[in-house]
Amino acid sequence: MPETSVERTLGILLAKVEGIEKSIAAGDQHRAVVHRRVDDLVEQVGDLNTEVATMKADVVDSKKITDEVKQWKQRGIGALFVSGVAGTALGGAAVSFAVYWWDSILRLLRSA
């Protein structure tokens, strides 16, 4: 009977060792999956960094263009203001000139 007990104990120990080996193998597989997922995430983050760097360059270029268009707009508004003032001044001078000559013409017509 003692041999049976020893064999039984060895069988139990062997089963436990096999269970531990299976658990270690399952853990290895799980870690391999986790490592593969982490590698995928690292690759995706690298791609995102590249895309963000490209977008930053595009935004800088767009900002330059936007600033340039704003300057054109400001210059255009300034030019319109100057043109308006000049037009008003010339219009006023033309009216004054016409009124002066119209008065002279009317006086000549009345005296004749």
The pLDDT tens digits of the residues spanning 45-80 come to 888 888 888 888 888 888 888 888 888 888 878 877
Predicted pLDDT at 36: 92
Quick one: pLDDT band at residue 2, thresholds 50, 70, 90? Answer: low
Max distance between CA atoms of the chain, in angstroms, equals 160
Give yes or no for residue 92 having a pLDDT over 50: yes
Instruction: Tell me what pLDDT residue 52 has.
Output: 84
pTM over 0.75: no
Of the CA atoms within 13 Å of residue 100, those in its CB half-sphere come to 6
The residue to which tokens 């219009």 are assigned: 91
Average pLDDT over residues 85-100: 77
Looking at residue 3, what is its pLDDT?
64
Report the distance separating Cα 99 and Cα 39, nearest Å: 88
